[in-house]
Amino acid sequence: MANLFLVPQFIVSGENAMKASMDHIKSFGTKALVVTDSAMVSLGNVKILTDALSENGISSVVYDEINSEPTHTMIDKGVELYKKENCDFLFAIGGGSPLDAMKAIGAVYANGGSICDYMGKKIEKKLPHMCAVPTTAGTGSEATKVSIITNTNTNVKMLLNDPKLMVDMAILDSQFTLTAPPSITTATGVDALTHAVEAYTSVKAFPMSDLFAVSAIKKIFANLYEVCTNGSNEAARREMTIAAFEAGVAFSNASVTIVHGMSRPIGALFHVPHGMSNAMLLMICLEYLKSGAIGRLCELAKVIGVYRDGMTEEEGADAFVAAIRDLLGKLTIKTPMDYNITKDEFFKYIPKMAEDALISGSPQNTRRTPSKEDLMGLYEKLWNENEKA
């Protein structure tokens, strides 16, 4: 079976990557809409970008209102600003929210209508040129043909998936990740780990996606705990920046599975950050999918060095799952209760969450295909296991 493999046209990585990218960016346009959040402005990261653009004869206008996971109303406002200011290309700097928002703004500007029209639909017209500078090592949005936008009218996180959403340039400079606090570093790092594990265990995995997934998993196991506890370690930050990109490439090409399918409804209904909702679901979902992916999980045990000679495939798979459990146990993974969600409210929405997860299509990529009843049981297990803890 043939597989289409997509990556950004330009990938600039390493020290001073921003400066090195400018010769290529000059060909993208003369005025950029910079999509970001207020924290990036206050930290000075946006000024580094806009100064670099200005020094190269490119003007810019800053849209810094993506201060939560992006909603369709934020996209509408960004499109209006892009048109009003006569911008001709897009830049995003920040975590996955500004990057996803940039892609959605580009899609609506080029194709019209509302971003709510595009869930599960093909994007027909080419977007403006887009550049992405990730400041967290996790979402991988700089490497993907995916954007996640919440429709606040329906409380659904819309999965938009189209090759036209791939950015033209990804700028990977780990210096921008040094300002990420431990809570963000943890949530986004586990998000990257989830991307890579799901890509490797997806029914849509293929050799090219496997290369990137395996490399990411190896780097993340070697560096995630270090960056969460010693955020000034530049070498570890650099490895995590590359790992997050690799994980993004992997899942963009092979798709995510059950964790992301179940995670999005929790985020949409209860406003739990995407990376943390993935983190709280990862163990429960791994235990569920294990029986359908024993060989693949055993291979990952070998990748991270927990496989021992003489182990059966099932023992190897168990060793990998145990290693994930140990890693998460050393990190601060929040529970639904930490977001002031009540049991009655959570259980009331379980049928809707299970249905919305299935509608997204992601759980169907799992090597053990879940039913709605399976997903409802896993949501109940998420609550009950944390309630006992």
pLDDT over 70 at 389, yes or no: no
| pLDDT of res. 42 | 95
Q: Are 147 and 129 in contact (CB under 8 A)?
A: no
And the tokens for 276?
A: 């943390």
pLDDT over 80 at 123, yes or no: yes
d(CA 16, CA 342): 47
The model's pLDDT over 182-201, given as tens digits with 9 standing for 90+, comes to 999 999 999 999 999 999 99
| pLDDT of res. 308 | 96
d(CA 180, CA 186): 10
The model's pLDDT over 289-316, given as tens digits with 9 standing for 90+, comes to 999 999 999 999 999 999 999 999 999 9
| pLDDT of res. 388 | 75
The model's pLDDT over 130-188, given as tens digits with 9 standing for 90+, comes to 999 999 988 899 999 999 999 989 888 888 899 999 999 999 999 999 988 999 999 99
d(CA 128, CA 75): 15
Q: Are 175 and 134 in contact (CB under 8 A)?
A: no
d(CA 62, CA 259): 34
The model's pLDDT over 23-35, given as tens digits with 9 standing for 90+, comes to 899 999 999 999 9
Instruction: Give the percent of the chain with pLDDT over 90.
Output: 87
pTM, 2 dp: 0.94
d(CA 350, CA 164): 34
Mean pLDDT over residues 315-331, rounded?
Answer: 96
Q: How far is CA 280 from CA 11, 233, 250, in A?
A: 32, 26, 22
Domains detected in the chain: 10-177 (3.40.50.1970), 182-388 (1.20.1090.10)
Sequence-ordered list of residues with C-beta below 8 angstroms from that of 65, at least 6 positions apart, any chain = 37, 38, 74, 77
| pLDDT of res. 157 | 84
pLDDT over 90 at 69, yes or no: no
